Chains A and B, each alone.
Chain A
Amino acid sequence: MLSRLVLVSGSALKGSGPLGAGLVHASRSLHTSSQSLAPVPPLPEKGGKVRHGLFPEELFQLLYPKTGVTGPYMLGTGLLVYLLSKEIYVINHETIAAISIGSVIVYAVKKFGPSVAAFADKLNDDKVAKAQEVKDLAMTNLVQAIEDEKKEQWRTEGRSMLFDAKRNNVAMLLETNYRERLHTVTNEVKRRLDYQIALQNLHRQMEQEHMIRWVEKSVVGSITPQQEKESIAKCITDLKALAKATQAKAAV
């Protein structure tokens, strides 16, 4: 790791000035000191590229111009042969152990590596998603709250209508009362006059009736018994004549 970081930050630090001494650590250390206020760059998605799980790609790229594609392999083979032949690295029991353990580890990582990585990523993603949800909810709530406040302000602007309605009510009540007074006066005057007329009519009616009764009484009283007999006899002869006339008519 250190080798790759040397290779990477060697090219990156050519551009940046003041922090020449912090070459050993990762580029993140640029931001833990208080001098730098630049925003933190996002974490890289994947680790640095490696070949065969061990050797950084930058080594191959470094050697490519001079030695082509097979250069690093030749370097590796040569180094290995040198170590073995000069017995700088001695083959003993530990070598077998190392080979066995190494192969098991490599097999395990190759088989289970991706699923473990996915699981860990999912844990992290869940945390981030929860935080994001909280943030989204907070933002929608705030927007809604702003909307509601604006609506309430709009509502208060209509308050004058209430008082207009109240004043209208008062005016209508007064007007009603006034009209009622007018009508009462007129009706009372009419009633008085009508009463006078009714009184007069009643008077006249009573006088008429009284007079009629008086005239009738005096007429009836003035009929003498003699006149009464004569009128009855005349009635009877009239009736007989009438009867004869109707009998004659009935016979025909």
Chain B
Amino acid sequence: MAGRRVALKAIDWVAFAERVPPNQRGMFNALKTRTDGIAAKLNSLPETPAVIDWSYYKTAVAKAGMVDEFEKKFKALQIPMPADTQTSAINTQEAEANKSATAYMEASKARIAQYEKELEKFKNMIPFDQMTIEDLNDTFPETKLDKVKHPYWPHKPIADL
């Protein structure tokens, strides 16, 4: 019989579980149960099939050439491994995932840069009790009063006071 295929890669399920975000936990659990089911089924089957005691059959069966013929054919039989249709699909999936992951990392890094810029601005701000109104308007542009749109004090709609 043909030997078995490539060995399975060991997966650290604990580390994997840590990396799963909470909103995908259901999918992860489904995957794990499926994998465990498949592994259990695999382990329930012994690796080599039961040995056939040809000598016993040779003495027992009356028909002369039958056992020998069976034995010859049996030994010559090659069982093919089942064809693997899914691995290429998985590989393409992985390539796509890598691409989208790199795009996400880029966007994430841009976001981090923006956050850090704002954090720097807050850290380097002068304390509030040393600011003038112009300083306040520079640091927080949304506090600037629009004196063109509302020319009379308080320069903003009364409802916003």
Contact = CB atoms under 8 A, between A and B. Distances in A.
Given A170-B86, A185-B49, A149 B108 contact: yes
Given A189-B74, A193-B57, A172 B42 contact: yes
Contacts of B19: 154-155, 157-158, 161
A140 B93 CA distance: 38
Contact of A155 (B21, B52, B87, B135): B21
Contacts of A39: 126
Interface residues of B: mostly helix, strand, loop or mixed?
helix
Given A132-B128, A171-B8, A178 B57 contact: no
Nearest to A200: B62
A156 B35 contact: no
A142 to B, nearest CB: 5
A181 interface: yes
Contacts of A186: 49-50, 52
A40 interface: yes
Contacts of B41: 176
Secondary structure of the A contact surface, majority rule: helix
Given A131-B128, A173-B38, A142 B9 contact: no
Contacts of B119: 139, 142-143, 146
A172 B18 CA distance: 24
A127 B104 CA distance: 41
Interface string A179-221: 1111101110110110011001000000000000000000000
Interface of B: 1-2, 4-6, 8-9, 11-12, 15-16, 18-21, 31, 34-35, 38-39, 41-42, 45-50, 52, 57, 60-63, 66-67, 70, 74, 77, 79, 81-82, 84, 86-87, 90-91, 93-94, 97-98, 101, 104-105, 108-109, 111-112, 115-116, 118-119, 122-123, 125-126, 128-132, 135
Nearest 5 pairs of A and B residues by beta carbon: A158-B19, A186-B49, A163-B94, A179-B45, A161-B16
